[in-house]
Amino acid sequence: MEYISIQGSKKPISRLIKGSDYFMHENFDQVVTNIEAFLAIGGNTIDTAHIYTGGQSEEVIGRYLQESGNRDKIAIFTKGAHHDRQGPRVNKQAIDHDLAVSLERLQTDHIELYGLHRDDPSIPVEHIIDALNEHIAAGRIGAAGASNWSWQRLTEANAYAASNGLAGFTFSSPNLSLAKANEPFWPGCVSVDQETSKWHEETQLPLLSWSSQARGFFTGKFTPDNKDDADLVRVFYNDQNWERLSRAKQLAEDKGVTVIQIALAYVLNQNYPTCALIGARNPAELASCDQGANVQLTQQEVEWLDLTSEGVQY
């Protein structure tokens, strides 16, 4: 397993990050088995959020950490300040509340990576950065980041932080995948486009990608005529993505790997630090991700897969 460094976190962050949006009390034994298997391949970072499974995800992780004694082995990435039925709530009060609840559920006094789950462009960045820095100074947060923020807002926030001697955002967590989204999967979500990718190359700000394998688009289960999954059709069905899938198949055959492993390798072979959130729930899926993380792609191959270059011929 390879790792990256994120400013503010005392622990290295594994290139594969374990998703936990299915962690619940009723499947605790499965959770333990999956976390232990993830640790066995060298993974050390678990993704969760204040809203996942009604709070059970964080509670179950906290229970596991207490019962296993493995807190020192694991970097926690959790998120807060998600909107509710009344609308956006990216403000100091929501950050303070959600972080306090998350710490209690996780049964810990600090979180290595804390991300704001959504943005509210109507709130000045200085209010948000100031609120986060209170928790960084108190040791409750190691690194502060943003999930589903535009690169323009990240730039604005970090410029304010730098000019005032404060900690800025040291990672971002949008969707990055070989399949490009027609529209956000959920309201307020951000997917990486060419401008965003260029900005990450220039700043080298680490990117932690959710839905890094495009929610199964590259598994072979889907074709232009198969429209059983309405959300997948809405978000990922377009001619360019079918061509990306075709190219991924060609490259997978050439390298002796699977198509979905090529899709994962695309995320992990960018010109800036990246990690991929994975949803593996069984040994076969975890083994596939582990193998995919070791697939090396050249810049030419990455560009060819992404339809930005015709330089590779098969």
Q: What is the pLDDT of residues 130-141, one digit of tens each?
A: 999 999 999 999
Residues 64/20, Cβ–Cβ less than 8 Å? no
Residues 263/213, Cβ–Cβ less than 8 Å? yes
> What is the percent of the chain with per-residue pLDDT over 70, rounded to a whole number?
99
> What is the percent of the chain with per-residue pLDDT over 90, rounded to a whole number?
93
Mean pLDDT of 264-277: 98
Residues 209/277, Cβ–Cβ less than 8 Å? yes
Lowest mean per-residue pLDDT among 3-12, 83-92, 133-142, 268-277: 83-92
Compare 278 and 314 and report the one with higher pLDDT. 278
Angstrom distance (rounded) from CA 130 to CA 163: 13
Q: How far is CA 85 from CA 65, 280, 282, in A?
A: 32, 30, 34
Judge whether residue 105 has pLDDT over 80. Answer: yes
Strands 3-4 and 13-14: antiparallel
Quick: pLDDT tens for 150-168: 999 999 999 999 999 999 9
Quick: pLDDT tens for 274-295: 999 999 999 999 999 999 999 9
User: pLDDT band for position 121 (50/70/90)?
Assistant: very high
Question: Which pLDDT value is given to residue 179?
Answer: 96
User: pLDDT band for position 66 (50/70/90)?
Assistant: very high
